[in-house]
A and B are shown apart, each in its own frame.
Chain A
Amino acid sequence: MSETRQVPVADGLFTWPSDQPRLIGARCAACGLVGFPAGPACQRCGGTEFTETLLPDRGTLWTFTTQDFRPPSPPYDGSDTAGTFRPYALGYVELDGQVMVEARLTEPDPAWLAIGQPMRLAIVPYSVLADGTEVMTFAFEPAVTREEA
């Protein structure tokens, strides 16, 4: 039985495949600000030299919202249609006081999300290509999922 082929949506976003994937951030060589994704310029000082830094894979939810209709496509390229689209949530997750990262959340229901909630990184498929290949992106899931709760 063959495994489903998976590809990342872009290179350089997260370490993967990996048992413990991490987001790949960048620390500005001039001012030390940590940003994500890497480059092309530091948001604080405009610096263009960075050292790669792997971001913590756990954090807390700073805020969130939901996407309840299929986004305009392009640029969205999920393989769903207006009929099969399933709402998802997004939020900012504060990673260990270093940086807040905007990400999709695996839990779509606001009733199961709360500001301040502990979250952990997950690499998830958001689209399937015609040949069955899954396109993977980064997301955060509640540290205690609905099933575990």
Chain B
Amino acid sequence: MEAVIIGVGLHPFGRFPGKSAMDMAADAVRAALDDAGVSWPRVQAGFVGSLEVYNPDAIVGRLGLTGVPLRGVFNGCATAGTALSMAARVIETGEHDLTIAIGMDKHPRGAFAADPSVAGLPSWYGQTGMFLTTHFFGMKINRYMHDHGITHETLAHVAAKNFRNASANDKAWRRTPLSVEEILASPVLNYPLRQFMYCGPDEGAAAVVLCRADQAHKYAGRPVRVRACALRSRRIGAFEVQSPSLPAGEQAPSPTVDASREAYEIAGIGPQEVAVAQLQDTDAGSEIIHMAENGLCKDGEQERMIADGETEIGGRLPVNTDGGLIGNGEPIGASGLRQVHELVLQLRGTAGARQVPGEPAVGYAHLYGAPGVSAVTILSR
């Protein structure tokens, strides 16, 4: 039995001094339940993800102690992909009729700092200043620009688009539009990536309520179909984050490519049918690379597409219509459910000032992060 999304809820992303991640998540869950027109005791199972909250399943204490099985999940930046995938899967298998996916986080300011041992790496890798995931993003886009003729200006255009889209989203964090010139004038953090080309860790929460497709008529609003969820980890030969060495002359595609192909196959939907996409834009370069890795264009084609405005709202392939990670920041556990929230609004036609014209029918969400894991979700009306 297919799973459909009947409710979405989003706590704004940003900085909320004095408000806990769990309180933000409780707000998001209440919003998602209201959106679906169901009460918490009706929820039969759930999956919840967070980096900073050790026991995110303790959220039951904010919602009502109904005995519901609520399982914690974690896959780094792809956490929310796993939460949604599992919430859909237990409906598809017939185990449950009504489920929820929840994500929450509240990160301190600045770059993520951790001991390399959390990723199974030796101490010297951190001591000598090599254990920063941002190095990977700088190195991958530098090579990609060299191989495929992407320019610094195109990186800046991507960031400018995402800030512009965020300015039309009252739940986004970075809502001040920045010009291409301002972005190119910001300091380099990891060549060729500059300060205003990066997303930052922040705070926020999101929730998604799902039910069996044949029961969707009982609930408020237009259901959105979950057509595919896929998650893949890195293969040997892929150019990947947190790798002290990589094999030479043995190349494999990114896990994004693997997850994307699997998702298209499960959905029976091709890249040409995608009407709106949310792609992991940890930085502007990542969005550009992920357009090709998700089959949405050929390598190098982004230079012309972005110059022609094809990824803008109103373009042929709108990308990160709510501002993406660059505009919203990244509370890791919630980030992917923020993408799903946006796609549901777009497919319902209720995205307001940032609505993609032409009644989009297929939405695509993509996550990527350490230690080389990608999740793809395909939704349709």
Mark A residues whose CB is within 8 Å of B. 9-10, 13, 25, 33-37, 43-44, 62-69, 71-78, 88-92, 94-95, 97-102, 104, 110, 115, 126-127, 137
Contacts and interface: CB of A to CB of B under 8 A. Distances in A.
B163 interface: no
B238 to A, nearest CB: 11
Given A91-B139, A126-B128, A74 B246 contact: no
Contact of B122 (A10, A34, A68, A69): A10
A36 B247 contact: no
Contacts of B248: 94-95, 97-100
B236 interface: yes
Interface of B: 110-116, 122-124, 126-132, 135, 138-140, 142-143, 146, 187-193, 236, 243-249
Contact of A102 (B146, B236, B244): B244
A98 B27 CA distance: 53
Contacts of A66: 138, 188, 190-191
Given A75-B114, A95-B248, A68 B124 contact: no
18 contacts: A25-B245, A33-B247, A36-B245, A65-B190, A65-B193, A71-B111, A71-B113, A73-B113, A76-B131, A77-B127, A88-B129, A90-B130, A98-B248, A99-B247, A99-B248, A100-B247, A101-B244, A110-B191
Contacts of A89: 191
A73 B140 CA distance: 24
Nearest to B236: A44
A110 B190 CA distance: 10
A65 B138 contact: yes
Nearest to A59: B248
Contacts of A95: 248
B245 A35 contact: yes
A137 B143 CA distance: 25
Contacts of A67: 129, 132, 135, 190
Nearest to A71: B129
A58 to B, nearest CB: 13
A99 to B, nearest CB: 5
Contacts of B123: 10, 75
A75 B135 contact: no
Contacts of A75: 113-116, 123, 126-127, 131
B113 A63 contact: no
Nearest to A109: B191
A77 B130 CA distance: 11
Contact of A101 (B111, B139, B143, B245): B245
A135 B148 CA distance: 39
Contacts of B249: 97
A64 B128 contact: no
